[in-house]
Amino acid sequence: MPDTQPLARQARILVVDDEAINRKVLAAPLTREGHEVLLACDGTEALGLIERGGVDLVLLDVMMPGLDGFETCRRIREEMNNLTLPVVFVTSLEDRDSRVRGKSVGGDDFLTKPVDAIELSARVRNLLRVKAYHDLRLRQKELLEEELERTREQLLRADRLATLGTLASAVGHELSNILSVLQMTVGLIRQQAGQKLPAREKDLEKLDTVAKHVETHARQLLNFGRPGPQYAEKVDLREIVTQTLDMLNTAGKLKVITVETEMPKTPVAVEVNRARIEQVIVNLVGNAADALADVKARTRRIRVAVTESGGGRVTCRVEDNGCGVPADKLIVIFEPYYTTKPPGKGTGLGLPVVKNIVESYGGKVSITSREGEGTVVSFDLPLPRQAAG
């Protein structure tokens, strides 16, 4: 019955032996089968050829001057960290200790001299199939990792766009109020002009104030909407928190909410992407503000604290006294698209994105909540090594 197993592609096989006749004997049947054969006369030359890449299998003599076969194989596995390249020892040694030693340094198989051409062909074919399988799995793993990274970036962008839309809606409401002031002030100035009177100073000041409000809204929306550099940079976490709270306040997200902050007096340097951490703060403080929407019986409060937590780490804590989250919902709170908000009020991406971003920098996110009393979400980040301790 013919062999129906898929055969690996024609391979580059490295034959290593200090005797030219032995190299010729091993190379001949491999060349007839269509393989490309590389020749090396010692272990040092073999390592150089392997280092260049493209070798699919090594036939390695054991007894060679200089680097013997065992040491050559050990260097392939340990120093070159090449764990999937098949290595077959070709040796006249038949004692058990030699075979045990060969296995201990990472050898895959043994052929005994004089080598039978049929046995050589079968061993090479089988090991090339194994290598092709490992290469396929490695490529599939790389493709999966690439796809996961693309999905992660899409999730981050989707959440950022959704958050930007929410902020833009809030800013639109604020701009509507500003427009009323602008229209009233322009009407007064027009009335004064109709009477051939100069504009009043207080009206001009109002126009200046309106212009500054519009400029602030535009700048903050543009800053938050910018893609930002993808590399990490050393930034002051206190500054990111403060500026993000200012933006949310200007956008009207924190109206009728008392916001308290606790910050160290000195800079807290973290090595992160500024835009990503802004996204984290916007999500957490925005969620806290939403949780306070229906609170009537007590003062609505959000407290944001940045503290160095020891062990070379810094913690940011966002606490509210809002509606809280039921205990049975906490176990799924970080699942994508899960949300406790009413339909149309949330995407269910905020907390998964927060977790994704924080963990990408070696941090952790935690949440505690009591229904009807409030929620605390904390995340920590490592401090740069020179700042740790």
pLDDT single digits (tens) 99-140: 888 888 999 888 888 888 888 888 888 888 888 888 888 888
The pLDDT of residue 221 is 64
Q: What is the mean pLDDT of residues 27-53?
A: 92
Task: Report the pLDDT value the prediction gives residue 375, as an integer from 0 to 100.
Answer: 94
106 by DSSP, 3-state: which? Answer: coil
Do 241 and 287 contact (CB within 8 A), yes or no? no
Strand intervals (E) in 190-275: 233-236, 258-262, 269-272
Query: What does the alpha-carbon distance between residue 271 and residue 240 come to, in Å, rounded to a whole number?
Result: 12
Residue 303 exposed, middle or buried by CB count within 10 Å (0-12, 13-18, 19+): middle
**Residue 325: pLDDT band with limits 50, 70, 90:** confident
Share of the chain above pLDDT 70, in %: 80
Tell me which long-range contacts 368-371 makes (C-beta under 8 A, separation of at least 24): 369/324, 369/325, 369/327, 369/330, 370/324, 371/323, 371/324, 371/325, 371/326, 371/327
Mean pLDDT of 51-66: 90
CB 269 within 8 A of CB 387: yes
Which helix (H) or strand (E) segment holds residue 15: the answer is strand 12-16
Work out the burial of residue 307: count CB atoms within 10 Å of its CB; fewer than 13 is exposed, 13-18 middle, 19 or more buried: middle
| Number of neighbours of residue 148 by Cβ within 10 angstroms | 10
For residue 223, how many C-alpha atoms fall within 13 Å in the half-sphere facing its CB? 15
Give the pLDDT band of residue 76 (cuts 50, 70, 90). Answer: very high
Place of tokens 């070798």: 55
pLDDT band per the 50, 70, 90 thresholds, residue 353: confident
Q: How many CB atoms lie within 10 A of CB 183?
A: 10
Helix axes 201-225, 117-194, angle to 10 degrees: 170
Residue that is written with structure tokens 């976490």 in the block: 237
What are the angstrom distances between the C-alpha of 371 and each of 173, 293, 320? Answer: 31, 15, 12
Please check whether residue 302 is in contact with residue 265, taking contact to mean a CB–CB distance below 8 angstroms.
no
Q: 269 - beta bridge partners? A: 236
What's the rounded Cα separation, in Å, for the pair 86 and 304?
Answer: 57
How far apart are the C-alpha atoms of 374 and 77, rounded to whole Å? 56
pLDDT digits (tens, 9 = 90+) for 170-207: 556 556 656 666 777 788 788 888 888 887 887 787 77
Whether residue 4 has pLDDT greater than 60: no
Question: In this predicted structure, what is the pLDDT of residue 388?
Answer: 46
pLDDT for residue 145 is more than 90: no
pLDDT of 84 strictly over 80: yes
pTM of the model: 0.50
pLDDT of residue 315: 95
Reply yes or no on whether the pLDDT at 343 is more than 60: no
Exposure of 300 by Cβ count < 10 A (0-12 exposed, 13-18 middle, 19+ buried)?
A: buried
The C-alpha atoms of residue 255 and residue 207 are separated, in whole angstroms, by: 23
Burial of 26 (0-12, 13-18, 19+ CB in 10 A): buried
In this model, does residue 279 exceed pLDDT 70? Answer: yes
Residue-level pLDDT at 246: 83
pLDDT average, residue stretch 26-44: 92
pLDDT given for residue 6 in this prediction? 44
Q: Which of 223, 198, 200, 278 is nearest to 245 (CA)?
A: 278
At 3 the pLDDT is 44
pLDDT at residue number 345 = 55
Q: What is the pLDDT of residue 376?
A: 96
* Res 66 pLDDT > 90: no
Contact 188, 203 (CB under 8 A): yes
What tens digit of pLDDT does each residue of 5-29 get? Answer: 444 458 899 999 999 999 999 999 9
pLDDT score at 139: 85
Dump pLDDT digits (tens) for 203-262: 787 777 667 667 766 665 666 555 555 567 899 999 999 988 887 776 677 888 999 999
Could you tell me the domains of the chain? 12-115 (3.40.50.2300), 153-382 (3.30.565.10)
Highest mean predicted confidence (pLDDT) among 163-167, 206-210, 276-280: 276-280
**Confidence at residue 347, expressed as pLDDT on a 0 to 100 scale:** 52
Q: Name the more confident of 337 and 322.
A: 322
Return the number of other C-beta atoms located less than 10 Å from residue 268's C-beta.
21
Please tell me the distance from the alpha carbon of residue 16 to that of residue 22, in angstroms, as a whole number: 9
CA dist 251 and 249 (Å) reads 5
* Percent of the chain scoring above 90 in pLDDT: 31
Q: What is the pLDDT of residue 98?
A: 79
What is the residue-averaged pLDDT of the chain?
Answer: 81
From 260, 253, 362, select the one nearest 321 (Cα to Cα).
260
